Amino acid sequence: MEAKRMKEHWKVGEVAEMAGLTIRTLRYYDQICLFSPSQYTESGHRLYTKADLVRLQPILSLKQMGMSLEEIQLLLSNPEEQTVAEILQTQISRVKKEIEVQQKLVAELENALSAARSNRTMSIPELTKLMEALKMNKEKYFSKQQLDTMESRYENADKQLLKQAEQEFNDLIKEIRLEKEKGASPSDEKVQDLANKWNDIVNAFSEDDKTFRKQAEHFHAENPGNELQYEIDGELYQFINQALNHK
């Protein structure tokens, strides 16, 4: 009997499972040219080799250290000693700040837990401190100015209109998903029309801030299933982008 050949290629889902990542994250890494597969199937699906898996390991290790994707790209493309030292020093400062933020968040959450266990309603100052701690945790992805802008926009919006807009956005996403499940092509006129509507809404929310949009994509890639995704998984996100990029 012929000896069983060792596996030579892995699909994106298999690599995601082995690496503890989501498919969306791997596709995002490919999109920003941080980690791309060496091969593709005839139908265009990603195929990763053993060499690709070896390349992924330092990325995962550096990510575990808390480095941003931009820093990882810089480090891997410029492995000089000075670059490494500068990035590590920056990372040490960031980690210290994050520890301080997390300690504050833990303290506020423990205070909230204590209030809940004693059936005591949290005071306004206590709630404010908790919200500030949660907000600081998101500053890993967004600048303080961006978070303040989002909060101000939400606070100043007509709540009825906001609720209506959220419902329309959800309905739009469901319609796009339905087209995808029906097997529609990203090049279909209806799909492109829906994708453009989605894009218009996203641009309106971000006020055409491309930096904000890139940071939001980074946030969603690293926090799959968060409440801001409106059930847009990696597959659907790619489908929408294919429609938007179709010429």
Report yes or no on 111 lying in a domain.
yes
CATH code: domain of residue 31: 1.10.1660.10
Neighbouring C-beta atoms of residue 1, cutoff 10 Å: 3
Question: Mean of the pLDDT values across residues 214-231?
Answer: 59
Question: Mean of the pLDDT values across residues 29-43?
Answer: 89
Please tell me the predicted confidence (pLDDT) of residue 216. Answer: 67
**In the structure encoding, which two tokens stand for residue 239, read together?**
């489908």
Please tell me the predicted confidence (pLDDT) of residue 153. Answer: 67
Report yes or no on 182 lying in a domain.
yes
Whole-number average pLDDT of the chain:
75
Report yes or no on 1 lying in a domain.
no
C-alpha closest to that of 34 among 164, 168, 222: 222
Higher pLDDT, 201 or 183: 183
pTM of the model: 0.43
Please tell me the predicted confidence (pLDDT) of residue 15. Answer: 92
Please tell me the predicted confidence (pLDDT) of residue 3. Answer: 43
- Claim to verify: residue 167 and residue 238 sit in the same structural domain: yes
Say which DSSP state 3 is in. Answer: P
Report yes or no on 69 lying in a domain.
yes
Write the burial class of residue 108 (CB in 10 Å: 0-12 exposed, 13-18 middle, 19+ buried): buried
- Claim to verify: residue 68 and residue 88 sit in the same structural domain: no
- Claim to verify: residue 154 and residue 242 sit in the same structural domain: yes
- Claim to verify: residue 134 and residue 222 sit in the same structural domain: no
Report yes or no on 2 lying in a domain.
no
Residue 153: strand, helix, or coil: helix
Please tell me the predicted confidence (pLDDT) of residue 204. Answer: 73
Report yes or no on 117 lying in a domain.
yes
**How many whole angstroms separate alpha carbon 147 and alpha carbon 153?**
10
Residue 72 to residues 55, 88, 127, Cα–Cα distance (Å): 12, 11, 37
Range of the domain at 42: 10-77
Quick: pLDDT tens for 58-107. 898 888 777 788 888 888 887 666 666 777 787 788 778 778 777 777 77
- Claim to verify: residue 92 and residue 21 sit in the same structural domain: no
- Claim to verify: residue 196 and residue 102 sit in the same structural domain: no
- Claim to verify: residue 242 and residue 155 sit in the same structural domain: yes
Residue 87: strand, helix, or coil: helix
**In the structure encoding, which two tokens stand for residue 124, read together?**
């306004």
Report yes or no on 199 lying in a domain.
yes
Higher pLDDT, 233 or 124: 233
- Claim to verify: residue 159 and residue 235 sit in the same structural domain: yes
Q: How many domains does the chain have?
A: 3
Write the burial class of residue 94 (CB in 10 Å: 0-12 exposed, 13-18 middle, 19+ buried): middle
Quick: pLDDT tens for 153-199. 666 767 777 677 778 888 888 899 899 888 888 888 999 899 888 88
* Residue at which a domain ends, from 116, 140, 164: 140
**How many whole angstroms separate alpha carbon 2 and alpha carbon 193?**
53
- Claim to verify: residue 154 and residue 211 sit in the same structural domain: yes
